[in-house]
Amino acid sequence: MLGVVKGVGGAFSQELKGKAVAGGIEERLAYIIHGIALGINLFGKGVEWVECMGTLPLEYLHIHLKSGVEILVMNTSVDFFPESCSFYAAAYSKFGAVHSQPIGDPEFIGGAAKILRLFKKMIQTGKPPVPYEDILEHIAVVEAGQIAQKKGGRVYLKDLT
């Protein structure tokens, strides 16, 4: 199966910077991590390796899961996706394809409410709502993606130090 996520890591950060295709990972990371999290949480955990290409930081991020599932997260400029604050997800397999409606501002309100409830529960119980390993996997994908984009090859998460 191939999962595809159209993220907002390029476009939304450009909107905030006046549509200039400039800046580095610092301006985009807060947006890029959401696309990575959507892809991993929707299509599966257990990242084995990452490849990356493009001129923008983590513009086309290929995530390979140990299960064999492939995830492509696109963080392109507003030249390709003029809307700035909508994610899209799609899944392709030998049986066909499914595509999501835009995931944008209206959906973010419900998500924020859920996050606040989980945060409250974490404060009350002292336990995180998700295992730390899940959060660290998303961050490791960012690190591996940056290395892969610089060296032009595949980076295994197990090789990160």
Residue 14 has pLDDT above 60, yes or no: no
What top-level class would CATH report for the domain 2-104+132-154?
alpha beta
The pLDDT-based confidence of 19 (bands split at 50, 70, 90) is low
C-alpha span between 68 and 48 (Å, rounded): 9
pLDDT at 53: 94
pTM of the model: 0.86
Nearest to 70 by CA among 100, 41, 91, 97: 91
Residue 13 has pLDDT above 70, yes or no: no
C-alpha span between 7 and 93 (Å, rounded): 21
pLDDT at 126: 97
* Angle of CA points 10, 137, 52, to nearest 5°: 40
Alpha helices in 6-131 (DSSP H): 11-16, 25-43, 105-125
